[in-house]
Structure 1
Amino acid sequence: MTLNIRYLWEKHGNALDLQDALKHGLIPAPNQFYLAVINRDGLGVANSVGGTPIDASDRDYFDFHQHNPSMALRVEPQLSISRRSGHIVIRFTRRMETANGAFDGVISVGVEPSFMASFNDEGNLNPRDFISIRHDNGALLVSEKGRNIRGSQVHVQPPVFNGDSGVMRMEKDKYKDRDARIVAWHRLPGYPLVSYVGLSEADMLAAQEGPIRGYRQFAELSSMLFLLMAAIGTWFSVRMASRKRQADEIRQTYQLAIDEAREGFFTMRALYGDDDELQDFMIEDCNSRGASMVGHSKSELVGRKLSERPLLQALELALPAFRHAMENGFCEDEFEVADPRPGIPAWIHRRLIRSGAGLAVTLRDITESRESQELLIKSANTDALTGLPNRYWLLNSLPTLLRTARNRNSAMAVLFIDLDNFKLANDRFGHAVGDKLLGMAAGRLKSVIRTGDEVVRLGGDEFTVLLNTVEHAGEVESVATRITEAFAEPFRILGHSLVVGCSIGISLFPEDGLDADTLIQKADIAMYASKADKKGLFRFYNDELYQRIRSKLDAEEELAHAIASRQFEVHYQPRADTRSGEIRGFEALVRWMHPVRGMILPSHFIAMAESTGSIVALGSLVMQSVFEQLAQWRDAGETLVPVSINISPSQLDAGGVDHQIQSLLEQYDMQPELIEVELTESVMMSEAESIVEQIANIRKMGVKLHLDDFGTGYSSLSRLQEIDMQVIKIDRAFVSRLGTSNQADVLVKTIVLMAKELHMEIIAEGVETPLQLDALRHLECNEVQGYLIARPVSPKEATALLRQRFLLDASKPEAEPPA
C-alpha cells in the first residue's frame, strides 16, 4: 500500500487525492486503516479520512524518516492514537524522497490492533488462552484474550523469546492470573515483530478428565458386558464378515482418493542401524501423483529405500529433514529441484509428519506460485521505464556485492550519474520524449560498461554504475570517459536532436567508505561538484568536496531553520509619482534578520532558497507579512497605498499561489486593489497550463500584475497582451545609463512608448540621480522607485513615509549608490 502511494506521490506530488483513490477502490476504506501523506514540512496533505490538514512534524516517525535515508517500511515501536480518527493504531510508515534523493515526506498507515487479530476467531480461544503480537522492544501491540483474562497485560513482565520460533512452558509466576501456560512464538522475518500464543496448561489437562472418567465407568461395566458377549457371539461373527467387506470397500475408496489427489503422498518406515542410529527410510506406500513427481512409477518405488530413490534431493540433503521430522514430529520446507526433468516440478513444497515408527510425507508442486513470486520480486527490483535494476535493488544488493569484494580483497567503484539539461528537454518536448530519452540513455550506459558491471536507475534522470572489480583508478577513469563521450553525441528522438550530457561523481571502495550508504552519498557529493564546476565532466570524491557540500548543506539547513523560526522581516521601498513625488505604493522586499550576523540582504540567500525549494515557504511568509502589515495600517487609520509582492517561478511551479492570495484577501478582508504581484519575464513566457491558470485567476481577483525587470529577459508583445499585464517595470540596468548614453535613452523611450500604446503603466526602477529623474519626467514615465526616492525601510519607517505622502524634493541631494 505504501509503495503504491509513494509511486502516486512521485507522479502527482501535491495533486495527490487519496479521497479519489478511495472512491476508485485503490486503497481500503478507513474503517480499520487510516492512511495519510505528510509532506516534507510535516503537514498532512492527503488522507483517507478527510478533513483539515494536521501537523505531524512533532511525531517520532516523522523525525525518524527525516533524518534516516532508509526507504524500508518502519513499524512504530509502540501503539499511538491517530489524531484524525482518535483510535488507537499500530503505525506503519515509509519515507518519500524527491528525484534527487532528498527527504520529501512520509506515508503513514495506522492500523487498528483489532485488524491484526482478525485472523483468529475469538470463539476458538479457551477462557484462559491468548494470542498476542509484540514489538522487539517489548511493547504489546495486539492481544486477543479469552473471556477469563482481565486487564490489558497478561504477563507480569514482557516475555523474552530466544530464536526465531519455538515452544516452551512458562511457569505460573510469569502471569498475573497465576496460571501456567504452554507458549509458542514466531518472529516475522525482516520486521521487529513477534507473534505468540499462550494456552492454559490447566485447561489442556482438564480436557483429558472426561475420557479418564469414561474409562473408569467402562471398567466397572466390563464384567457385565462379558456375560452378554457370549450370547451375541454368533451374531457378532456374522457382522464381522459384513464389516470386512465394508473395510475392503473403504480401503479401496481411500486408495482411489489418494491416487487421484493433486498432492504426492508417501508413507515411509524408519530404518535404524545396530547403534540405534537412524540410517534410512523404506517407502511402504505412495500414490501415483507422488511417484510421477519423482520421475518413477508406483511399482518402482514401493518397497525401496530412500537411499535408492532420493525424494527429489540428494540423500545427504534429504535425510536431515527426515531426521528432524522423526525427532520433533513435524517438518515443512520448500526447495528447488537440482535438475528437473520434463514432468518433474522445479519447486516442491514438502511436509513430513511422524506417524508411529515412520513418516507420512506430502509433496506439492509450487513451481507456478514460485515463478509468480519471482516475477513479482523481479518487478519490484526493476525500473519499469528502462528495464534496469532500480533503487530498491541497489539498496538490497550493494551490501552483498561489498561483502564479496571484501572477502576477495578487491576494490569497487560507484559512479553516480545525473543527466545534464534533462529537465529542459522534458519541459520543452513533453514527457513522451523525456521517457524515450531516459530509455536511450540507459541503453548508452549499458553499451559502454564492462561485462559483469551493473547499471541502475535511481529515479528521475539519475543513474548509478557499479564497477564490481577494479584494479586501479585508471580503469574507473576509462569507464567514466567512455560514458561522457557517449553522452556527448546528440539523441535523435521523434524528429528532435537533443544534446543531453551527463555529470559523474565517483567513490571508491574501500578508500571512500565500507558501506553502501556512505559510498552512494560520497559519489553523489562528487557528482554535484562535477555539475557545479562544469557539466559533462566526472570527479572523484575527496574530503574537500565533502566540506564544500557540507558547508552548502549547513547553509541550506540554516535557511530552512530561519524560515521555520520566522527570522525574516519585510521591508518596504516606496514608489512615487514622477511629477508630484506623491507616494503611490510600496514594493515588499524581504530581509533575513540573522541573530548573529544581523540583517542579510536577499542577494545572499534568494538563489539558495530557489535551488532548495525553500522559496515556496519563504514566499508564503512574505505574503502573510504583507497582509498583516496592511491590516495594521488600516486599523490604525493610515491612508493605504498598494503593496507589490514578488512571486518566484518556483512558487508558481509548486502551485496554489492564486488560492493563497484569495484566502488572504478573505482572511484580512482586504481590497484586491491594494495587492499587486510582480512576475519575471521567464514566468510570463511559460506555457505550463497550471502557471497560466494561476496568473489568470490572480488577474480575475482584481490584483494588478507587474512585469518586473523588463528588457532583461525574452518577452514577446503577444504574451503581454495575452496575460493582460497592467504595469511594466523598467530594469535598473537601463535607467542607470539615462543621460549618459544616447542608445540607453532610445531604449527607455521605446519601452515607454510601447507601454503607452498597450495602455500599460510604467515604473522605472533604480532611480538614483536627479538627472535620471528629469529624463523620466521628460519621457512621461508614471512612477519612479530607487534610492533617490527612498531606500527600503522597516514597517515603522514605512508608516512615517505614508504620513509624509510627498517624497520628492527639488533640493534633495543625490543618493548614494547601492551597496
Structure 2
Amino acid sequence: MFSLFLWPIIFLILVATVWIVALDEISDIRNNAEQDAMARAQSISRAYSEQLTRSVQQIDAVTLNVKYLWEKQGMDLDLREALRRGLLPPQLYITIVDRNGMGVTSSLGGAPIDVSDREYFQFHKAHQTMTLRVAPKLEVGRRSGKTIVRFTRRLETANGAFDGVITVGVDPTFLASFNDEGALNPHDFISIRHEDGALLVSEKGNNIRGSQVHINPPVFATDHGVMLMDADKYKDQDARILAWHKLMGYPLISYAGLSESDVLAKQKEVINSYRQFAELCTVLFLLIAAIGTCLSIRMAARKQQADEIRQTYQLAVDEAREGFFTMRALYRENGTVQDFVIEDCNTRGASMARYSKSSLIGKRLSEFSLLQDLETALSAFRHAMETGFFEDEFEVSAALPGAPQWVHRRLIRSGKGLAVTLRDISETKESERLLIKSANTDALTGLPNRYWLVNSLPTLLRVAGHRNKAMAVLFIDLDDFKQANDRFGHAVGDKLLKMAAERLKSVIRAGDEVVRLGGDEFTVLLSTIESTAEAERVASRITEAFTEPFRILGHSMNVGSSIGISLFPEDGLDADTLIQKADIAMYASKSDHKGIFRFYNDELYQSIRSKLDAEEELRYAIAKKQFFMVYQPRVDTRTGDIRGFEALVRWQHPTRGIVPPAQFIELAESTGSIVPLGSLVMDCVFRQIAAWQNMGETPVPISLNISPRQLDAGGVDQQIKDLMKRHKVSADLIEIELTESVMMSEVPAVIDQITAIRQMGIKLHLDDFGTGYSSLSRLQEIEMQVIKIDRAFVSRLGTSSQADVLVKTIVLMAKELDMSIIAEGVETIAQLETLQHLDCDEAQGYLIAKPVTAPEARKLLQQRRIFMHAENDALPV
C-alpha cells in the first residue's frame, strides 16, 4: 500500500516538477533569445559602424591628399590623370570647385559645371570649418547623374579666405556593403542615417523591399544603444531589436534591426521539444508509477549517461586550446582576500604555466608565477572577486622558451572562487606590431613615413616642452631629382632615393630621425639642440654629403639638397606650424640658390607670400582671360611693305592697368602658368586672323612665340592643328618663333612637336639669334626658315665696326642656308640704312611702329606700307 500511494505521489511531484522546469526553460529561452539578439544586434551594428568608419576615414584621407595636391599644384592639378595613375580610388567621384562655384578639375572629366547654387557650396562659403562634411541628404550628381552621398571639405587660401570646395560623391552601395551580411536573417536589415534623420543608405535585407521599412524615422537619443521596437513601427508589422552606433567624428548613424520573429523562429524547435519532453515525461512517469522497477532501471541508465557526459566534458576541457583554472579564494580574519588556491585546471592551462596538471592542483597563487608577478596578478583576482568579472591582456614577464609572450585573461566569479581562462594571443600581438610598423614605415627607403611624423612629432614636441628643450625641423628637397628620374627611369630614381636616405642617416646625430614625406622630400627631426649652431652643423653636413655625385648602374648624377629649418619653440609650438615654416624656408633656399639651407623668419615668409600671391593673381588672370593681344609689324627693309606681324601679349589688370610682359612673363615661365597663357594667346591670334578674313581683309602672317615650357608640356602641334581647323586659318598665315634653347633640345617629344609643326607648312623663326648656344647643324636638321637678329646686335649698328661685321656675317650665313633675316629692335634711321646696305630682308622696331591694338593693326593692313625707300627721298608714310 505504501508503494501504491508512494508512486502516484512521486508521479505528481515529478510531473509538476517537469512542467515547471519546462515552462521556466521556455521562458528563459525566450529571454535569452532576446538578450542574445540584442547582443548580436549590437555586435552587427558595431561591426558595421567600424567598417563604415574606415570607409569614411578613407574618404577623409583622400580629401586631405587632394587638398594637399591642390595647395601644391593649384590649377595644374588634374584629378582625371591622378585617377588613371591609381592615386585616387575609382569608386569615389572627386571634384574641385573654385571659390566661384565652377568645377576646376574632376576625376570624372568633362566640361566645368557651375555648382554655386548647391547647398554644400553655400555652406562652406559661409562657414569656416575645415572638417569633412557629410551632406544631410542624398543628392543626384550633376556630372555623374547618379544618386550619391556627398562628402565635402572647404579649401582656403593661406590667409584663411574661402578658396573653393573639394567634393566627393559616393554611391550609396559603396557605404552599404557589409562584410558580414551572412549574419543577417531574412527579415533583418542594416542602414545608415544622417544625424539629422535623413536616410542615406536604404535599409536592406533578404526580404526587405523599398527604400525603408520604418513607418517613421527612428529617433536615436544616445551615441549608441539597443532597443526593442514594436511591430506597429514597421511597414511589415514585424517587431525588431534595433541597435545603433554613431560614427566617432562624423554625423552618421549606422544601425541594424533584427526581426523578433526570426529570432524566435530559431527557438521554436527547442521550445516544442521542451513541451514534447514534458508530455513524454508525463507518460513515462505514469508508466514509472505503475512499474517501479522500470523507474529504477531508467534512473541508473541516466546516471551512467551523466557520467559519460561529464567524462566527455572533462576530456574536451583538457584538450582545449585555452587554459582553464578554478580557484578558491582564501580570506583573512578581517574578511579580505589573502590568496587563491587552485582546485582544478586543464592540461593546456598547466602547460602555459610551465607545470604539470597534478603539481598545480592544491597550489596557492603566491607559491608560483601564473605568467605574471604576484602583486599584479593578486590585484586582478581581487578585483574580479569584488566586481564579478575582469578581463585584460598582458605581456608575460620573463617568458620562458615555449611559453606565451602575450596572454588574454578572463576572470569570472563563481561562488567563493573564480573561473579563470587564459588564451595565448602572441601571434595576434605580433601581427599587430608588424601592421603598425608597416603603417609607419616608408616601403621604399625603410625610413619612418609621413604617417609616423604626423603621429609622433606632437609627442616629441610635448616632451621637449616639458623638459624645456629646443628642437629643430629640417625640411629637405632633392635638387634636380626629377630630371634624373625622367632621364634614367623610375628604377634608377628609386635607387637614388634609397641612397639619399642612407646619406641622410649617415650624417645625423644619434637620437635624431630621418623621415621620408614622399617623392623627393625628406624631414630630419633634431630631437634636442642647445643652440641654432647645432642645427647649422647638421644642415652643413647634409649639404656637404650631397655634393658627392651619386653613381648608379654606371650613371653619375649630381643631386643636391635644399634645406629649410624651423626651430621649436621660436617658430612654433605645434607640428603643422613647424613643418609649414620649414617648408617655406626650404622653398626660399631653392629659389635663391639650390644646395643651401635657410632658417625660417617672418621676412622670408612675407617675401614668399608675395611671390605666391603674385602667382595666384596670375593664375586668376589667366582663368578670367584678363589678357589682350597687340601686334608689331615687320616690314621689307627696301620697300617698307608690311610682311607680317608679331603677336605680343599684354595684361589688362583691373586695378593696375596694362601690365607689360617684363613683369609677368618670367613669373609665368617659372611657375608653369605660361602653358595655359600660351594656349590663350594662340586662341586669341587665330580668332583675330579669322575675324580679319571675315571683314574682307587680306591678312599677313602673324608670328607666335612658343615657350619651352609649352613644348615640355606637349601637345602644341595638336593645338595648332585644331585651331587651324576650327577657325579655318591656313598654314601660310601662322609663323612660330622658337628660342635657341628649344632648338638645342634633345628631348624626343619636343623635337617631334617641332617637326610636326614644320610639316604643316608653318614657318619656324629662330628668335634672339646669337644670344644662346646655336648650332648650325641643328639649324639644318630642324629646317628653320627665318633668323631674327637679337636687338643687342642691332642697337650697335653704325656705332661699331665689329657689330656691322657680326650682323653682316649672320646675314651672309642665312643667305647661304636659304633663310630669311629679320632684325629686331630697329630704332634709328641709321640702323635701318645699315640693314638695307647689308641686304637684310625685314626690320621690326619702334622706328617702324610700336605694337598696336587689333583695330590699329587693321588700319596698317589696309595701308600695306609704312615707309618708302630712302633713295626716293620719301619720308616715312
TM-score band, normalised by shorter chain: 0.7 to 0.9
Other-structure match for 2:536? 477
How far did residue 596 of structure 1 move?
0.6
> Is residue 698 of structure 1 aligned with residue 757 of structure 2?
yes
> Is residue 110 of structure 1 aligned with residue 170 of structure 2?
yes
* Alpha-carbon distance in 1 for matches of 2:691, 2:841: 28
Q: 2:700 aligns with which of 614, 623, 641?
A: 641
> Is residue 718 of structure 1 aligned with residue 765 of structure 2?
no
Structure 2 regions of 5+ residues with no counterpart? 1-57, 156-162
Summarize the Cα distance change of 1:543–1:156 in structure 2 as closer, same or farther, 3 Å threshold: same
Aligned-partner residue type, residue 112 of structure 1? P
* Alpha-carbon distance in 1 for matches of 2:779, 2:866: 31
Q: Work out whether residues 791 and 826 of structure 2, in 8 Å CA contact, stay in contact via their aligned partners in 1.
A: yes
Summarize the Cα distance change of 1:630–1:305 in structure 2 as closer, same or farther, 3 Å threshold: farther
How far did residue 242 of structure 1 move?
5.5
* Alpha-carbon distance in 2 for matches of 1:573, 1:83: 46
* Alpha-carbon distance in 1 for matches of 2:311, 2:277: 34
Q: Work out whether residues 79 and 106 of structure 2, in 8 Å CA contact, stay in contact via their aligned partners in 1.
A: no
| Residue aligned with 1:394, SS | helix
Within a 5 Å distance, the mapping from 1:566-645 to structure 2 comes to 566-645=625-704
Larger radius of gyration: 2
Aligned-partner residue type, residue 173 of structure 2? P
Summarize the Cα distance change of 1:405–1:432 in structure 2 as closer, same or farther, 3 Å threshold: same
Q: 1:161 aligns with which of 222, 240, 250?
A: 222
Within a 5 Å distance, the mapping from 1:431-446 to structure 2 comes to 434-446=493-505
Q: 1:266 aligns with which of 324, 349, 369?
A: 324
Within a 5 Å distance, the mapping from 1:37-56 to structure 2 comes to 43-44=104-105, 52=110
How far did residue 713 of structure 1 move?
1.6
Aligned-partner residue type, residue 621 of structure 2? A
| Residue aligned with 2:717, SS | helix
Within a 5 Å distance, the mapping from 1:272-291 to structure 2 comes to 287-291=346-350
Other-structure match for 2:191? 132
> Is residue 399 of structure 1 aligned with residue 458 of structure 2?
yes
How far did residue 597 of structure 1 move?
0.6
How far did residue 599 of structure 1 move?
0.7
* Alpha-carbon distance in 2 for matches of 1:90, 1:186: 19
Aligned-partner residue type, residue 770 of structure 1? I
Other-structure match for 1:787? 846
How far did residue 813 of structure 1 move?
7.7
* Alpha-carbon distance in 2 for matches of 1:313, 1:806: 103
Other-structure match for 1:753? 812
Other-structure match for 2:26? none
* Alpha-carbon distance in 2 for matches of 1:601, 1:428: 36
Structural RMSD (CA) = 5.1
| Residue aligned with 1:508, SS | strand
Within a 5 Å distance, the mapping from 1:380-459 to structure 2 comes to 380-423=439-482, 434-459=493-518
* Alpha-carbon distance in 1 for matches of 2:540, 2:458: 26
Other-structure match for 2:837? 778
* Alpha-carbon distance in 2 for matches of 1:390, 1:141: 36
- Once structures 1 and 2 are overlaid, which stretch shifts more, 696-705 or 621-630? 696-705
Q: Work out whether residues 88 and 113 of structure 1, in 8 Å CA contact, stay in contact via their aligned partners in 2.
A: no
> Is residue 728 of structure 1 aligned with residue 787 of structure 2?
yes
Summarize the Cα distance change of 1:183–1:640 in structure 2 as closer, same or farther, 3 Å threshold: same
Aligned-partner residue type, residue 803 of structure 1? Q
Q: 2:729 aligns with which of 663, 670, 689?
A: 670
Q: 1:709 aligns with which of 760, 768, 773?
A: 768
Aligned-partner residue type, residue 609 of structure 1? A
How far did residue 130 of structure 1 move?
4.5
Summarize the Cα distance change of 1:728–1:39 in structure 2 as closer, same or farther, 3 Å threshold: farther
Other-structure match for 1:525? 584
* Alpha-carbon distance in 2 for matches of 1:187, 1:272: 45
Aligned-partner residue type, residue 222 of structure 2? F
Q: Deviations over 1:278-312 (max 9, x none)?
A: 99877666554454444444445556666766765
Q: Work out whether residues 388 and 412 of structure 2, in 8 Å CA contact, stay in contact via their aligned partners in 1.
A: yes
Q: Work out whether residues 113 and 141 of structure 1, in 8 Å CA contact, stay in contact via their aligned partners in 2.
A: no
Q: Deviations over 1:319-355 (max 9, x none)?
A: 8888999999998765544544322343455677899
Q: Deviations over 1:328-384 (max 9, x none)?
A: 9998765544544322343455677899996573625352x5444444443443334
Q: Work out whether residues 564 and 587 of structure 2, in 8 Å CA contact, stay in contact via their aligned partners in 1.
A: yes
Summarize the Cα distance change of 1:114–1:716 in structure 2 as closer, same or farther, 3 Å threshold: closer
Other-structure match for 1:100? none
Q: Work out whether residues 420 and 501 of structure 1, in 8 Å CA contact, stay in contact via their aligned partners in 2.
A: yes
Other-structure match for 2:863? 804
Other-structure match for 2:25? none
Q: How many residues align?
A: 791
How far did residue 4 of structure 1 move?
11
How far did residue 409 of structure 1 move?
2.7
| Residue aligned with 1:644, SS | strand
Within a 5 Å distance, the mapping from 1:243-258 to structure 2 comes to none
Aligned-partner residue type, residue 361 of structure 1? T
* Alpha-carbon distance in 2 for matches of 1:273, 1:421: 76
Other-structure match for 2:423? 363
Other-structure match for 1:656? 715
Aligned-partner residue type, residue 365 of structure 1? I
* Alpha-carbon distance in 1 for matches of 2:759, 2:313: 83
Other-structure match for 2:286? 227
* Alpha-carbon distance in 2 for matches of 1:425, 1:68: 42
Q: Work out whether residues 213 and 234 of structure 2, in 8 Å CA contact, stay in contact via their aligned partners in 1.
A: no
Q: Deviations over 1:19-60 (max 9, x none)?
A: 9789xxx999x7xx356687999555655xxx7466599796
- Once structures 1 and 2 are overlaid, which stretch shifts more, 792-801 or 482-491? 482-491
Greater share of residues in helix: 2
How far did residue 496 of structure 1 move?
6.2
Aligned-partner residue type, residue 506 of structure 1? I
Q: Deviations over 1:103-135 (max 9, x none)?
A: 9997957343365344354893575x6433356
Q: Work out whether residues 477 and 562 of structure 2, in 8 Å CA contact, stay in contact via their aligned partners in 1.
A: yes
Q: Deviations over 1:174-214 (max 9, x none)?
A: 97989997554446668775533355789979999998899
Within a 5 Å distance, the mapping from 1:550-561 to structure 2 comes to 550-561=609-620
Aligned-partner residue type, residue 769 of structure 1? T
Within a 5 Å distance, the mapping from 1:10-409 to structure 2 comes to 33-34=91-92, 43-44=104-105, 52=110, 79-90=138-149, 110-113=170-173, 116-119=176-179, 121=181, 124-125=184-185, 127=187, 130-134=189-193, 140-145=199-204, 147=208, 151=212, 159-162=220-223, 167-169=225-227, 183-186=242-245, 194-199=253-258, 226-231=285-290, 234-235=293-294, 238=297, 259-260=318-319, 263-266=321-324, 268=326, 271=329, 287-301=346-360, 312-313=371-372, 336-348=395-407, 359=419, 361=421, 363-367=423-427, 369-409=428-468
- Once structures 1 and 2 are overlaid, which stretch shifts more, 12-21 or 468-477? 12-21
Q: Work out whether residues 130 and 143 of structure 1, in 8 Å CA contact, stay in contact via their aligned partners in 2.
A: no
Summarize the Cα distance change of 1:347–1:677 in structure 2 as closer, same or farther, 3 Å threshold: farther
Aligned-partner residue type, residue 512 of structure 2? D
Aligned-partner residue type, residue 220 of structure 2? P
* Alpha-carbon distance in 1 for matches of 2:129, 2:437: 23
How far did residue 785 of structure 1 move?
2.4
| Residue aligned with 2:799, SS | coil
Q: Work out whether residues 61 and 76 of structure 1, in 8 Å CA contact, stay in contact via their aligned partners in 2.
A: no
Structure 1 regions of 5+ residues with no counterpart? 97-102
How far did residue 589 of structure 1 move?
1.7
Aligned-partner residue type, residue 266 of structure 1? F
Q: Deviations over 1:667-717 (max 9, x none)?
A: 334333333332222222222233233333333333333322222222222
